Amino acid sequence: MYRKIRIALACVAAFCLTLYCLDFSGLIPHLFYRFSQWQFLPAVLGHSDTFLNSIIIVGTLLAITFLFGRIYCSILCPMGIFQDIIIWLHNRKFIKKFSNRLRKLTAGTAKKPVKKIGYRKPKTWLRWATLSLFIIGVIFGWAGIVSLVEPYSAYSRIAVHIFRPVYLYFNNVLTSIFTSFGIYSFYKMEIYASNILALTVSIATFVIISFLAWRYGRSFCSSICPTGTILGTVNRVSLFNMRINESKCTHCGACGLKCKAHCINSKEQNIDYSRCVNCFDCIDYCSVKAIEYKVRYEKKDVKTTDAKETDNSRRKFIATIAVLPLLLGKKAFALKTGAATYTANGAADGMTDGERTIPIAPPGALSHEHLKRHCTSCHLCVSKCPSRVIKPAMLEYGLGGIMQPVMDFEKGFCNYDCTICTEICPNDALKPLTKEQKHLTQIGKVVFILERCVVYKNEASCGACSEHCPTQAVKMVNYKNGLTIPQIDTSICVGCGGCEHICPVRPYRAIYVEGSKVHEQAVPIKLEERDDMKINDFGF
Amino acid sequence: MDRRTFLKSVVAAGATLVVKTIGATTVLTERFEQTADAAEGEAALGTVAPDLVAVMGGTPAAMFQKAIAEFGGISTFVKKGQKVVVKPNIGWDKTPDLAGNTNPELVGEIVKQCMDAGAKEVVVFDNTCDEWQKCYKNSGIDQAVKKAGGRMMPANNESYYREIKLPRAKIMKKAKIHQAILDCDVWINVPVLKNHGGAKMTMSMKNLMGIVWDRRYFHNNGLQQCIADMCTLDKKPALNIVDAYRVMKDNGPRGKSAADVVSGKALFMSRDIVAVDTAAAKFFNQIRTMPLEDIGHLANGQAHGLGTMNIDKLNVKRIRM
């Protein structure tokens, strides 16, 4: 019963979250981004800015874990559900038959019967080392690297970089068919790898996690995942838990063999709750109904489990909680230093030979420092940007910021009125902006190089840059022979990249946007009074 | 077009020319786009249709109705069972009151009349500058077209475009054109009248940039000549309708705010793409000085024999509402 409910909820959550990552047409309601928002570590990282929001999400998830166990890991975490699917496939008979047949064909021998794995010893040191590294990484603004093991983001990257191109491909095939019948409601999408690094990492994650799940069940969740470590520790003291009823148990060992987390030691009738993901499989598989989901403090007849470790881990957990506030303090400090280095760099950057030297962080990122400390590179913004200007970074932000979102104006430019990326970011790495706030957010500043301009070089009309400029920070002014030439005003520039996107000059554009390490405020544009001119004649 | 229809139209076109000469009509301009069908419409009307119609003072739809009546109705251009394309300017993510795009009411009315005339389908598209779905939606054109029974077609992907040669062009000898234009029977060009930072003005001729995939080529290789080159396309618009209901006088083609917009309440219609643009530019000069010689693509178009800038010599019909 519990198991069936768990499977149903997990399917809904994973399906909605994945579909939202894949969707490009607005088919999936915007509301579905909540499935991304209700993820544990992203919410923890979003802590400092929308404190209340974060407290609600983190608090609720911790409270649920405290009450009912690690059901987050089985229902909400997409990476957990992904592994469950792999494990489910692994247990299908037809797949086993197929792999046996394949083995016979290739190796000429049947597969040796593998010894079934029951209980495994916990890899406590690995878990805590990973969690510590994660915390240190985040504090020092290396979120890009440490988020390789953050389960939601790792899954989201797989969805965006592997599943989405497949989805687009099918869309394009469908579109071709429908278009040939004169139905234009579908449209084609360009399929391209926005960043080879992100693609490689996603494929590697996909392969490694699939392999681990296939061979060792939920071993990623038990020994690597930082969320798993934190929630597992809470799970040790949770109110409801699986209990082995000794009076009913026949020591058949079926539960231990079926357990995805390999955490049931049926010999000693112990369950390692720090690894149990509350999948409820054991309850269903126990033929004598000896495993029950019960309140912990109900009776004394239940054998206390892993007494040796409990205290130790709890202590560790409390220590971890104590570290978290450090994030807040450290952040304020780093912001100051970040600002200082920017002014130092800013002076030098004026002397460049005309290519962007400072990467442009998406709107709402506040500063490179803020982004680097909050973003776990889930790439939801990359997937959702309608203008396709957000792409994963290579080394633009340095090693610690790999794969974090950076603006690239090759495929398009940032729509003046669009705020979608800031609304959906689950980590608050991109803070929500209203349309009015975005109109005044300067993510970079325009740079114009006269010597390269078509109007100057060829003495021919162009004006493509000014055409695309929403604030007229690039304005065409009279030049000579009836020609007009761009004139820039960086104070009202928002750095949308319209000018850079459309500038036809190659290999180096005549106009581009230089990033700002700390986003600045643009001067509001002056709007002239509208004159109610009356035209009474045709004029010819 | 198969061989039979081709031969038929050649014969019909020849006959039209003969009729024209006998009728001692003054043909000042070479009208490449004059089709046999159009001549039939005129014959049905009993009079010779004007070269250029200018309407002032009505709503976009009403002004269109008046103007098209002068040509003998939309059925002069659109026949039963034809595939029709209406090509407005939908370049920007702007609402109708900001005049960045062609008036949706006008586009809707044209689509409706084409459907009423028995068109098999009416397709509307533009290769937009801003993100295309936002443009289609926020311009109000998507809604207006669908309501009138037409279809919006995407133009966001290179695979919708096919390369054609432009043998008469000076610079741009080939271009990738949207398949809707290449595959249709007849198409109608519906630009909006705007100031333009680079091309000075954007009207009918400039609107053809929206049927081409690579617009950077224009900017890089002499915008004014490339615009005229593009208009040498064999399959010319059957009709050019310049929407001047709201006119962007400054900061065009995108515009900054409602302060850039002037209420023009006018509409210009002609088969002659150069003449209609000249008329619209002269109208614009009442709002703001804009020397015709600075709008280089007009003279370049005339040099290509696409039409005439000398609109005083044309049969112009002026209508006030």
**Residue B33 reports pLDDT greater than 50:** no
Q: Specify the DSSP class assigned to residue B207.
A: H
Q: Which residues of B touch A502 (CB under 8 A)?
A: 129, 215-216, 219
Domain boundary among A256, A275, A307: A307
Q: Which residues of A touch B217 (CB under 8 A)?
A: 504
Q: Residue A101: what pLDDT?
A: 81
Q: Which of A190, A467, A529, A537 to mutate to test the interface with B (most CBs of B within 10 A)?
A: A467
Q: Model confidence over B172-181: pLDDT tens digits?
A: 999 999 999 9
Residue A374 lies in a domain: no
Q: Residue A311: what pLDDT?
A: 47
- CB–CB of A489/A409 below 8 Å? no
Output the CA angle A2-A3-A5, nearest 5 degrees. Answer: 65
Q: Which regions of chain A are under pLDDT 70?
A: 47-51, 108-116, 297-354
- CB–CB of A151/A225 below 8 Å? yes
Among candidates B157, B287, B293 on the partner chain, residue whose Cβ is nearest the Cβ of A535? B287
- Smallest CA–CA distance, residue B48 to chain A, in Å, is 22
Judge: B197–A476 Cβ closer than 8 Å, yes or no.
Answer: yes
Residue A260 lies in a domain: yes
Q: Residue B35: what pLDDT?
A: 47
Neighbours of A15 (CB within 10 A): 14
Q: Which residues of B touch A484 (CB under 8 A)?
A: 197-198, 200
Among candidates B261, B282, B296 on the partner chain, residue whose Cβ is nearest the Cβ of A461? B296
- Smallest CA–CA distance, residue B50 to chain A, in Å, is 16
Judge: B198–A538 Cβ closer than 8 Å, yes or no.
Answer: no
Judge: B262–A472 Cβ closer than 8 Å, yes or no.
Answer: no
Q: Which of A461, A502, A508 to mutate to test the interface with B (most CBs of B within 10 A)?
A: A461
Judge: B263–A532 Cβ closer than 8 Å, yes or no.
Answer: yes
- Smallest CA–CA distance, residue A164 to chain B, in Å, is 17
Residue A340 lies in a domain: no
- CB–CB of A119/A263 below 8 Å? yes
Closest CA to B108 of B129, B84, B88: B88
Q: Which of B129, B196, B219 to mutate to test the interface with A (most CBs of A within 10 A)?
A: B219
Q: Residue A51: what pLDDT?
A: 67
Q: Model confidence over A69-78: pLDDT tens digits?
A: 999 999 999 9
- Smallest CA–CA distance, residue A402 to chain B, in Å, is 28
Q: Residue A185: what pLDDT?
A: 85
Region label for A319, one of left (φ > 0), alpha (ψ between -120 and 50) or beta (otherwise) = alpha
Q: Which residues of A touch B282 (CB under 8 A)?
A: 538-540
Q: Which residues of A touch B223 (CB under 8 A)?
A: 460-463
Judge: A540–B279 Cβ closer than 8 Å, yes or no.
Answer: yes
Q: How far is CA A247 from CA A241, A251, A269, in A?
A: 18, 11, 11
The full set of domains in chain B, from first to last, is: 50-320 (3.40.50.11440)
Residue A428 lies in a domain: no
Residue A299 lies in a domain: yes
Q: How far apart are CA B246 and CA B194, in angstroms?
A: 9
Q: Model confidence over B283-313: pLDDT tens digits?
A: 999 999 999 999 999 999 999 999 999 999 9
Judge: A466–B197 Cβ closer than 8 Å, yes or no.
Answer: yes
Among candidates B129, B219, B251 on the partner chain, residue whose Cβ is nearest the Cβ of A462? B219
Closest CA to A291 of A241, A238, A257, A244: A244
Q: Model confidence over B254-267: pLDDT tens digits?
A: 998 899 999 999 99
Judge: A386–B312 Cβ closer than 8 Å, yes or no.
Answer: no
Q: Residue B3: what pLDDT?
A: 57
Q: Which of B139, B220, B262 to mutate to test the interface with A (most CBs of A within 10 A)?
A: B220
Sign of CA pseudo-dihedral B193, B196, B198, B201: positive
Characterize the bridge pairing of strands A474-478 and A484-488.
antiparallel
- CB–CB of A355/A515 below 8 Å? no
| Average confidence (pLDDT) over B195-212 | 95
Contacts of A136 (CB under 8 A, 6+ apart): A142
CATH number of the domain bearing residue A516: 3.30.70.20
- Smallest CA–CA distance, residue B73 to chain A, in Å, is 23
Q: How far apart are CA A137 and CA A142, in angstroms?
A: 5
CB pairs under 8 A between A and B: 144
**Residue B65 reports pLDDT greater than 90:** yes
Q: How far apart are CA A473 and CA A465, in angstroms?
A: 10
- CB–CB of A156/A206 below 8 Å? no
- Smallest CA–CA distance, residue B172 to chain A, in Å, is 15
Domain boundary among A288, A307, A326: A307
Contacts of A186 (CB under 8 A, 6+ apart): A171, A174, A175, A178, A179
- Smallest CA–CA distance, residue A398 to chain B, in Å, is 31
Q: Which residues of A touch B130 (CB under 8 A)?
A: 415
Judge: B256–A527 Cβ closer than 8 Å, yes or no.
Answer: yes
Residue A404 lies in a domain: no
Q: How far apart are CA A277 and CA A80, in angstroms?
A: 9
Q: Which residues of A touch B291 (CB under 8 A)?
A: 482
**Residue B139 reports pLDDT greater than 60:** yes
Judge: B282–A540 Cβ closer than 8 Å, yes or no.
Answer: yes
Residue A175 lies in a domain: no
Q: Grade residue B9 by pLDDT with cuts at 50, 70 and 90.
A: low
Q: Which residues of A touch B198 (CB under 8 A)?
A: 461-464, 466-467, 476, 484
- CB–CB of A440/A521 below 8 Å? yes
Characterize the bridge pairing of strands B151-152 and B121-124.
parallel
Q: Residue A141: what pLDDT?
A: 82
Judge: A538–B254 Cβ closer than 8 Å, yes or no.
Answer: no
- Smallest CA–CA distance, residue B33 to chain A, in Å, is 24
Closest CA to B306 of B195, B230, B242: B230
- Smallest CA–CA distance, residue B215 to chain A, in Å, is 9
- Smallest CA–CA distance, residue A533 to chain B, in Å, is 6
Judge: A184–B279 Cβ closer than 8 Å, yes or no.
Answer: no
Residue of A nearest to B254 (CA): A467
Among candidates A184, A461, A475 on the partner chain, residue whose Cβ is nearest the Cβ of B151? A184
Residue A239 lies in a domain: yes
Domain boundary among A282, A307, A332: A307
Q: Residue B109: what pLDDT?
A: 97
Q: Which residues of A touch B129 (CB under 8 A)?
A: 467-468, 502
Domain span at residue A457 reads: 440-530
**Residue B25 reports pLDDT greater than 50:** no
Neighbours of B183 (CB within 10 A): 12
Q: Could you tell me how many residues make up chain B?
A: 321
Q: Which residues of B touch A463 (CB under 8 A)?
A: 196-199, 219, 223
The two tokens of residue A336 are 């100051």
Number of domains observed in the structure of chain A: 2
- Return the SS3 of A62: helix
Q: Which of B85, B101, B130, B217 to mutate to test the interface with A (most CBs of A within 10 A)?
A: B130
- Smallest CA–CA distance, residue A262 to chain B, in Å, is 50
The helix (run of H) or strand (run of E) holding residue B99 is none
What are the φ/ψ torsions at residue A19 (nearest 5 degrees)? -60, -35
